[in-house]
Structure 1
Amino acid sequence: MYEITQYKKGGLSFIRLSGEGAYADVCPERGAIVTAFHTLGKDVLFLNEQTLFDRTKNVRGGIPVLFPMGGQLTDGRYEWNGTVYEMANHGLARTRPWTVAGQAADERHAELSVSFFSSKETKQSFPFDFEVVLTYRLEKGRLTIQQLYKNLSSDAMPIYPGFHPYFHIPNKVVNVKTDATQYLDYNDQAIKPFDGTIDMSDLAEAVVFRDRSDEVEAGFDESDRLVIEKDPAFRYIVLWTERDKDYVCIEPWTAKKNEFNERQELLYVKKEQPLQLSVAIYLKKRS
Structure 2
Amino acid sequence: MFTVTKQSQIEPIYVLNDTRSQSSLTVFPDRGGIATSWRVGDRELLYLDAERFTDPKLSVRGGIPILFPICGNLPDNTYSIGDKQYALKQHGFARELPWQVVSQSTDTDASLTVVLESNDQTRQVYPFDFSVSFTYRLAGGDLIIDQTYTNKSATPMPFSTGLHPYFAAPAKDRLTFEIPADSYQEKQTGETHAFAGKFDFSQAEIDAAFTDVKANVAIVRDAGQQLTLTMASSPNYRTVVFWTVADKDFYCLEPWTAPRNSLNTGKDLLHVAPGETLNCKITFSAKFA
Common topology (TM > 0.5): yes
Counterpart for residue 218 of structure 2: 216
CA distances 1:69-123 after superposition (whole Å, capped 9, x unpaired)? 11101001111111110011100100000000100113x3110000000011101
Counterpart for residue 153 of structure 1: 153
CA distances 1:219-278 after superposition (whole Å, capped 9, x unpaired)? 234311111111111111101112211100110011111111111211001122200000
Counterpart for residue 257 of structure 2: 254
Counterpart for residue 181 of structure 1: 182
Query: What TM-score does the superposition give when structure 2 sets the normalisation length?
Result: 0.94
Report the number of matched residues: 284
Query: What TM-score does the superposition give when structure 1 sets the normalisation length?
Result: 0.95
Instruction: Note if 1:16 corresponds to 2:15.
Output: yes
Native 8 Å contact 2:26 2:35 kept in 1:
yes
Q: Give the share of equivalent positions with the same residue, in percent.
A: 33
Q: Distance in 1 between matches of 2:149 and 2:215?
A: 22
Native 8 Å contact 2:230 2:286 kept in 1:
yes
Unaligned runs of 5+ residues in structure 2 are none
Instruction: Note if 1:231 corresponds to 2:238.
Output: no
Q: Distance in 1 between matches of 2:75 and 2:206?
A: 15
Native 8 Å contact 2:68 2:94 kept in 1:
yes
Native 8 Å contact 2:238 2:268 kept in 1:
no
Q: Distance in 2 between matches of 1:254 and 1:200?
A: 26
Instruction: Note if 1:271 corresponds to 2:274.
Output: yes
Q: Distance in 2 between matches of 1:233 and 1:94?
A: 20
CA distances 1:148-185 after superposition (whole Å, capped 9, x unpaired)? 00000011100110000000013334421122111111
Q: Distance in 2 between matches of 1:44 and 1:84?
A: 40
Native 8 Å contact 1:240 1:248 kept in 2:
yes
Native 8 Å contact 1:177 1:216 kept in 2:
yes
Counterpart for residue 45 of structure 1: 46
SS of 2:132's equivalent? strand
Native 8 Å contact 2:5 2:15 kept in 1:
yes
SS of 1:198's equivalent? coil
Corresponding residue to 1:242 among 234, 241, 245: 245
Superposed counterparts of 1:45-194, under 5 Å: 45-106=46-107, 108-173=108-173, 174-194=175-195
Q: Please give the root-mean-square deviation of Cα atoms over the aligned residues, in Å.
A: 1.5
Q: Distance in 2 between matches of 1:203 and 1:80?
A: 37
Native 8 Å contact 2:141 2:287 kept in 1:
no
Counterpart for residue 207 of structure 1: 208
Native 8 Å contact 1:40 1:283 kept in 2:
no
Of the structure 1 ranges 25-34 and 134-143, higher mean CA displacement relative to structure 2 is found in 134-143
Q: Distance in 1 between matches of 2:223 and 2:122?
A: 40
Native 8 Å contact 1:72 1:88 kept in 2:
yes
SS of 1:155's equivalent? coil
